[in-house]
């Protein structure tokens, strides 16, 4: 197996999550339950609640919190941005060059998404202001909401039973999922989802195989009933899957002759989809999907257990809310 130039070229061109998605400046939300509460930032006074435009930096962020009775200086400590921490869980292993780019970028720092200030709290140094409010926020799904979802598989496990073959097991990290959901009542929604995956561990990579090699792939469509509890979402429902086991032969590097002829075996099966996720912020989810199938309907009808188990990052936003 020989790595192509595509992997190196893309790693040199692309940088990682913090560099691509983070801006040098962003809005920091500041809240207070006190009457006539204000903050002073860069000699400008803002009544609370408000949003201030801050610049990413390793330096502390100084503010002055004032009410009718107090005037208190506060400091917000810089910390690694969530995109840098979460996104590089993948890039650190698969794309260390992109990870190194993030390490040299000032955009990997931030001050959190929200800051809660009040006169009863005497804290003057905030290290994780996001925990004051955002961590408790659950972004409740309301009746009539329509959401879209896009998922990328970080890690997957496949177990297939091709007709006439022994059990096949493989893994990979290349797969996508698309979904559209409708909330039929508060905190409950039905979702139509479909996806496809292949057992490669190197996304965006050109790979040259030598001799006989196997490729396993799967695609599916499912309808799930889901419910939300705080930031957790759980769903289950019927699924239809097409699993493919592909035996191929490459003679590019003069390998030994194949011991059997290359062939492709596909099966269509019925099963279920079990999905769970945790909402990291308004857009990003971390989830796990387990999709077992039990009844094979083609090329022959028989009971046969197969599965795909995957860990994924997901993006999801509300597309419509009923007024």
Q: Are residues 115 and 204 in the same domain?
A: no
Sign of CA dihedral 41, 113, 148, 84: positive
Cα separation, 323 vs 319, in Å, equals: 13
126 Cβ partners below 8 Å, 6+ apart?
Answer: 74, 75, 76, 77, 112, 115, 132
**Which segment of 91-105, 210-224, 250-264 scores lowest on mean pLDDT?**
91-105
Write out pLDDT tens, residues 144-188. Answer: 999 999 999 888 999 999 988 889 998 888 899 999 999 999 999
Cα separation, 257 vs 237, in Å, equals: 46
Residues shown for the chain: 323
Q: Are residues 107 and 173 in the same domain?
A: no
Adjacent-strand bridge partners of 307: 159, 292
What is the reported pTM?
0.62
Write out pLDDT tens, residues 278-303. Answer: 988 888 899 999 999 999 999 999 99
Closest CA to 297 of 163, 183, 147, 205: 163
In a domain, 193, yes or no: yes
Domain count, the chain: 2
In which domain, by residue range, is 112 found? 2-136
Residue pair 240/270 in contact by the 8 Å Cβ criterion: yes
- Read off the tokens for 13: 């061109």
What DSSP assignment string belongs to 122-137?
A: ---EES-THHHHGGG-
In a domain, 91, yes or no: yes
Q: Give the CATH number of the domain where residue 304 resides.
A: 2.40.160.20
């Amino acid at each position: 197996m020989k790595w192509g130039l595509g992997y190196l070229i893309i790693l040199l061109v692309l940088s990682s999550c913090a560099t691509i998605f983070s801006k040098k400046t962003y809005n920091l939300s500041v809240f207070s339950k006190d009457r006539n509460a204000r903050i002073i930032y860069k000699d400008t006074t803002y009544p609370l609640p408000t949003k201030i435009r801050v610049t990413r930096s390793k330096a502390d962020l100084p503010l002055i919190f004032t009410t009718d009775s107090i005037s208190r200086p506060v400091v917000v400590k810089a910390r690694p941005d969530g995109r840098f921490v979460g996104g590089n869980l993948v890039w650190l292993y698969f794309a260390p060059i992109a990870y190194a780019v993030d390490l040299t970028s000032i955009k990997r720092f931030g001050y959190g998404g929200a800051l809660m200030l009040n006169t009863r709290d005497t804290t003057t140094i905030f290290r994780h202001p996001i925990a004051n409010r955002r961590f408790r926020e659950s972004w409740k799904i309301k009746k009539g909401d329509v959401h879209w979802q896009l998922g990328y598989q970080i890690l997957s496990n496949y177990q297939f039973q091709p007709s006439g073959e022994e059990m096949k097991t493989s893994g990979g990290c290349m797969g996508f999922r698309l979904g559209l959901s409708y909330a039929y009542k508060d905190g409950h929604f039905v979702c139509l989802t479909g996806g496809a995956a292949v057992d490669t561990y190197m996304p965006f990579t050109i790979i040259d195989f030598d001799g006989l090699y196997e490729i396993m792939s799967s695609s599916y469509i499912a309808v799930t009933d889901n419910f939300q509890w705080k930031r957790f979402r759980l769903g289950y429902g019927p699924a239809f899957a097409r699993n493919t086991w592909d035996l191929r032969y490459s003679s590019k590097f003069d390998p030994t002759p194949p011991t059997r002829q290359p062939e492709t075996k596909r099966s269509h099966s019925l099963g279920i989809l079990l999905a769970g996720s945790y909402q990291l912020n308004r857009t990003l989810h971390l989830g796990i999907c387990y999709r077992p199938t039990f009844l094979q309907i083609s090329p022959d009808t028989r009971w046969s257990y197969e599965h795909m188990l995957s860990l994924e990052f997901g993006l999801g936003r509300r597309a419509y809310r009923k007024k």
